[in-house]
Structure 1
Amino acid sequence: MSDVEKGGFIAKVIGPKRRWREYKARVKQLPPNYRTAVEAIERYLLHFGPMTADNSASLFEDVADLFERAAADRTPIREIVGEDPVEFVEELIRNYSKGGYVDRERARLTQAIESVERAEENR
């Protein structure tokens, strides 16, 4: 993969570099326990999160907002993520992946099956 292709891929995953750097600077300012939690969420999102720049950038920024407020209020991490951190992040992904590739493919699959069903009914 060329540097140009890598740059395009990175921008697609994390959004514009400026927004990414600003997000990373915000995370760096968090208290250690909140920073560790956000970095773990970030790792998960980079593997399984929405793959559009706008959605990803907004999602990362909103995670930073959430944890900044929680740190200011001294909210325990477990109160933020609940009993199942994976479900917490999966819910974030569901909220931010509307209109992304996966949703479009799900809609196509559903439409194709419905079309076949209608055709079978009309026989």
Structure 2
Amino acid sequence: MSDAEKTGFIARMIGPKKRWKAYQARVKELPGNYRTAVEAIERHLMHFVPNDGDSTAAMFEDLADLFEQAAADGTPIREIVGKDPGAFVDAFAQNYTEGGYVPARARKQLTDDIERAAGNETGSQDTTV
């Protein structure tokens, strides 16, 4: 996908560019492991959840709110996403859309990405999935 196509996709996906940039700036300020988790969830949402612009923008902003608050409170990532990150994302997205089909490979990638982020919290690999 070219940069122009990606920019057009993002503009269609979440609305005004300014809103997307504000969201990205918020995510960039998160501690590393929280940022890694949000980026994994974001990738998953962008690829597998139908969107309509305004509700998708609200979804990403709420995702940032959730992880900003969790980071401020010191809430572990596993307490946020639980044992099944795919189920978390599905439930989270259903608040904003009708949902979508998520292939097993994509769920595994999301789970692996969250595993790495959650493992960074304690300095050791968290083996719960």
TM-score, normalized by the shorter chain, greater than 0.5: yes
Structure 1: stretches of 5+ with no match in the other structure: 103-123
1:36 aligns with 2:36: yes
> Structure 1 3/88 Cα, relative in aligned 2: closer, same or farther at 3 Å?
closer
2:124 matched residue in structure 1: none
Which of the two has greater helix per residue? 1
The whole-number CA distance in structure 1 between the counterparts of 2:84 and 2:27 is 22
1:75 matched residue in structure 2: 75
1:60 matched residue in structure 2: 60
Give the alignment's TM-score, normalised by structure 2: 0.69
Aligned residues: 100
The whole-number CA distance in structure 1 between the counterparts of 2:32 and 2:2 is 36
1:9 matched residue in structure 2: 9
Query: Once superposed, what is the RMSD of the aligned Cα atoms?
Result: 2.3
Detail structure 1 runs of 4+ shifted over 3 Å in the superposition: 1-9
Q: Match of 2:64, as an amino acid?
A: A
* Equivalent residues of 1:49, 1:56 under 8 A apart: no
Structure 2: stretches of 5+ with no match in the other structure: 101-129
Q: Match of 2:58, as an amino acid?
A: S
> Structure 1 36/2 Cα, relative in aligned 2: closer, same or farther at 3 Å?
closer
The whole-number CA distance in structure 2 between the counterparts of 1:4 and 1:10 is 10
> Structure 1 91/8 Cα, relative in aligned 2: closer, same or farther at 3 Å?
same
Give the alignment's TM-score, normalised by structure 1: 0.72
